[in-house]
Amino acid sequence: MNDLPREIGTTTRFSKTVSEGDVYLYAGLTGDLAPNHTNEIYMKRSRWGRRQAHGALLVGFMSTAVSFSVGPYRDRDETPVSLGFDRIRFTAPVFFGDTVTTTYTVTGIDNERRRVTGRIECVNQDGVTVAVAAHIEKWVANQATAS
């Protein structure tokens, strides 16, 4: 089998301004209508004074950054799939109107196990890190080439 088409240090980025609509769509899809995300009056009395985006919404941004990184390699005899995100931490709140830039960097390649590992960091418009994680990607042989 060939080496994986990745290089350590390769980086992709995804930026998005988090809107009220994004948060409410996410809340509706998941059923997470916690007041931290949907109740302005409730959050006004908190130490943050306003609503926050769901941390799990940032995991979606992480997934997007990883997907961008594999995009150029989709026409191969293997399909890249996510095995998951490890050590996810939400290190600062994300508020409506914040612009979050998510950076994915390849940190390891295991050609024998067909895996790529990466580091992910989400940073807001003020340079504050709001989330971090590690990612594991697996390259799985397509049916036509599995035999």
User: Over the stretch 88-143, which tens digit does the pLDDT of each residue have?
Assistant: 999 999 999 999 999 999 999 999 999 999 999 999 999 999 999 999 999 998 88
Tell me what pLDDT residue 147 has.
52
Rounded Cα gap, residues 23 and 46, in angstroms: 19
Rounded to the nearest angstrom, the gap between the alpha carbon of residue 59 and the centroid of all alpha carbons in its chain is 4
Stated pTM of the model? 0.90
Banded model confidence at residue 145, pLDDT cuts 50, 70, 90: low
The total number of residues shown for the chain amounts to 147
Tell me what pLDDT residue 112 has.
94
CA atoms within 13 A of residue 122's CA, in its CB half-sphere:
31
- Residues 63, 57: contact at Cβ < 8 Å? no
Give residue-wise pLDDT tens across range 39-97. 999 999 999 999 999 999 999 999 999 999 887 666 678 889 999 999 999 999 999 99
Rounded Cα gap, residues 4 and 74, in angstroms: 12
Lowest mean pLDDT among 3-12, 34-43, 111-120: 3-12
How would DSSP label each residue in 38-105? H-HHHHHTSSS-S-B--HHHHHHHHHHHHHHHHGGG-SSSEEEEEEEEEEEEE-S--BTT-EEEEEEE
Give domain 11-146's CATH number out of 3.40.50.450, 3.90.1150.10, 3.10.129.10, 3.80.30.20. 3.10.129.10
The ranges assigned to domains in the chain are 11-146
Determine phi and psi for 105, rounding to 5 degrees: -125, 125
Banded model confidence at residue 7, pLDDT cuts 50, 70, 90: confident
Tell me what pLDDT residue 120 has.
98
